[in-house]
Structure 1
Amino acid sequence: MHCQTPDATPRPCHVRVWHAATSTDQRGEFERRCERWLAEEELIHADRFQRTTTRNQHVVGRAMARRLLADRNVAPEAIRFGTGRHGKPQVVTPDEAIQPFNIAHTDGLVLCGVADPHVDLVGVDVESIHRRTSTELAERYFAEPEVRFLRRQPLARQQYFFLRIWTLKEAFIKAIGTGLHTPLADFAFEQIDSERPVIRFLAAGLDLEKQWSFVCSTPREGFIASAAVGVTGSHSPALVQWQPFENLVGGPANRSNVGDEL
């Protein structure tokens, strides 16, 4: 699969990242609406979570994936999921619903990114801007060039840039499907304060012979998110759209950053 037409003219790759606010302290009306798309075993699994916020994230994330991967020929309820080697969710059946996707969540917000079928890999991540961070944590997990970048930033901006780097890293390892089996210091991001951060591989083989694009966004107030896109062959800059999932289910939503280019 690649973003290249038969005449070798690059064509665009599209990724749509849908976001949905979730209740942190109760099973709300929005979560109940999402439950209608889940399989029975998913509902049983959701009810095993002790924290309401975790249950809601599971319900909404799975509902988003089912609704967004379905089409006029495939009902959301008909989709069957499996997992890759390191647990990355993927569609098993039906074939019509097989498409690159990835889910991310934090307290209060869930993302689901869905890419064009000719995109090879996609990963998304999201964090609250209020998450506690520290330079010690960066020194433990980040690559040395990223640590040096953070140290140069004003103290008031270090938390923001820490989360920007963290979500970029998480989006990448989720895209390649290895999770934290891949050390975060094996790759580094450059041009971190730009619209198009660039990855530099410090360990062999991590690029998987793909061309990589990354984008950061603020899908909702109080959150920072990143998307990673990997494709084979020549392609024009991918286009990522951030859209509120509530528009498909019913309920209030905030619109922002629709149409950011990777």
Structure 2
Amino acid sequence: MGPPLAVAGPQGPWQQVLDTLAEHGSVIAHGLLADWIPADPEGPGLRRMLGRDWDRYHAMRHPPVRERFAASRLLLKHVAARVLHAAPHTVELAYHAGGRPFLRGCDQIGISLTHTEQLLMVGVTRRGWIGVDAELADRPMLRSGIERQVCTPYERTVLARVDESRRNEELVRIWTLKEAYSKAIGQGMRFRFNEFGFGPSGRPVRVLRPDGSPGTGDEWSFGTCRVADRYTTSWALYDAGFGDTRDTAAATMLDEGLVAALTADPLDPYAVTAGRAA
């Protein structure tokens, strides 16, 4: 699928995103929080952009949480808008029972969202399901003893063989893969992480049973890479086997009357911008 692409605000680069989507049927984009913070956090433009998420956003009392929530939705809506050939404010997010976001009325498109510290990242696919996750590469996980709760017996054996200087880095990689896979299948943290696992670095990545035997087939693909020199990012992609839905324009997938209602007034005076106000 290729590594995540940097998107430094609403200006893009969007052609690179569209080219990657055309080539692979999936794309992952990441941005920095400062580039996506809305210029007017209480303005009508942001309210219109967030849509149904506005009340949830407005109820948040902790400013950093509010900023990250708004910025991540702006990034997701701008990426999705390019895929759908629609205006960002017309993209409507909804949520499954487990909290996984989806594009209302566009079931052919799979999406995923993650954010940590200053990093925002979204994944979009036309092939099936996608999950993305990111963590600080040096997050101290081993010292917390978390591997005893989230790793399978096989993974603990593999970790014990890794040089101590790299062991925490390897655990962060495994953790992000678990998060990405669980997001892709719509389970999140409800799926116990010690019931599935992954093998060591340097081997083809696939889901493994607790004893290390294969748990999935070729319909799943995974990847991990470092982003912005500070973050370990992973993704999980499930190919549903229906091919690439190349025509993803909202005008094609949605009812004509609904499209007209959503895309009315293209010169919206409340168009939202991102980035801190001067």
Give TM-score, length-normalised by structure 2.
Answer: 0.68
Contact kept in structure 2, 1:128 and 1:224, CA below 8 Å: yes
Report the counterpart of residue 139 of structure 2 in structure 1: 131
Name stretches of at least 5 consecutive residues in structure 1 with no aligned partner: 1-10, 24-28, 236-248, 252-262
In the alignment, the residues of structure 2 paired with residue 30 and residue 88 of structure 1 have an alpha-carbon distance, to the nearest angstrom, of 21
Q: Which structure 2 residues correspond to residues 118-157 of structure 1 after superposition, within 5 A?
A: 119-134=127-142, 136-157=145-166
1:103 matches 2:109: no
1:181-196 alignment runs, 5 A limit: 181-190=190-199, 192-194=200-202, 196=204
Q: Distance in 2 between matches of 1:83 and 1:40?
A: 13
Q: Distance in 1 between matches of 2:120 and 2:24?
A: 23
2:74 paired with 1:55: no
Residue in structure 1 matched with residue 222 of structure 2 by the alignment: 214
* Distance across 2 between alignment mates of 1:173 and 1:34: 34
SS in 1 for 2:154: helix
Q: Give the match's secondary structure for 2:141.
A: coil
User: Distance between the aligned counterparts of 1:32 and 1:214, measured in 2?
Assistant: 32
Do the aligned residues in 2 keep the contact of 1:121 with 1:176 (CA within 8 Å)? yes
Deviations along 1:221-240, one digit per CA (max 9) or x if unpaired, are: 111000000113498xxxxx
Structure 1 residue 170, shift from structure 2 partner: 0.2
Alpha-carbon distance in structure 1 between the residues aligned to 2:155 and 2:224: 16
The match for 2:101 is 89
Partners of 2:229 and 2:40 lie apart in 1 by 23
> Quick check: which one's strand share is greater?
1
Displacement of 1:85 in angstroms is 2.7
Q: Quick check: 1:210–1:233 contact (8 Å CA) kept in 2? A: no
Q: Which of residues 156, 160, 168 is equivalent to 1:159?
A: 168
Q: Tell me the residue number matched to 2:187.
A: 178
Counterpart of 2:237, as a letter, is V
Sequence identity, in percent? 20
Write the distance in 2 (CA, Å) between the matches of 1:34 and 1:113.
26
Query: How far apart are 1:163 and its partner, in Å?
Result: 0.5
**What are the Cα deviations for residues 76-133 of structure 1, in whole angstroms up to 9, with x where unaligned?**
111222111311111113x4x8511100011111101111x2x111000000123221
Tell me: CA distance 1:54–1:250, structure 2 relative to 1, closer, same or farther (3 Å): closer
TM-score for the superposition, normalised by structure 1: 0.72
What displacement does 1:195 show? 6.5
Contact kept, 8 Å, 1:91 with 1:98, in 2: the verdict is: no
Corresponding residue of 1:22:
33
CA 1:75/1:56 → structure 2, altered by over 3 Å: closer, same or farther? same
- Secondary structure of the corresponding residue to residue 162 of structure 1: helix
Deviation digits for residues 11-46 of structure 1 (CA, Å, limit 9, x no counterpart): 9743211111114xxxxx741259656225534433
1:133–1:84 Cα change, 3 Å? same
Report how many residues are paired.
215
Report which of the two structures shows the higher radius of gyration computed on alpha carbons: 2
Local SS of the residue matching 1:198: coil
Q: Secondary structure of the equivalent of 1:200?
A: coil
Structure 2 CA distance for partners of 1:34 and 1:199, relative to 1, 3 Å: farther
Contact 2:51/2:92 (8 A) holds in 1: no
Cα distance 1:145–1:195, how it changes in 2: closer, same or farther (>3 A)?
closer
Secondary structure at the aligned position of 2:198 is classed as strand
Contact 1:17/1:113 (CA < 8 Å) preserved in 2?
yes
1:69 maps to which residue? Answer: 80
* Aligned-CA RMSD value: 2.9
Q: Looking at secondary structure, tell me which structure has more helix per residue.
A: 2
Which residue does the alignment assign to 1:80?
92
CA separation of 1:234/1:41 partners in 2, compared to 1, >3 Å: closer, same or farther? closer
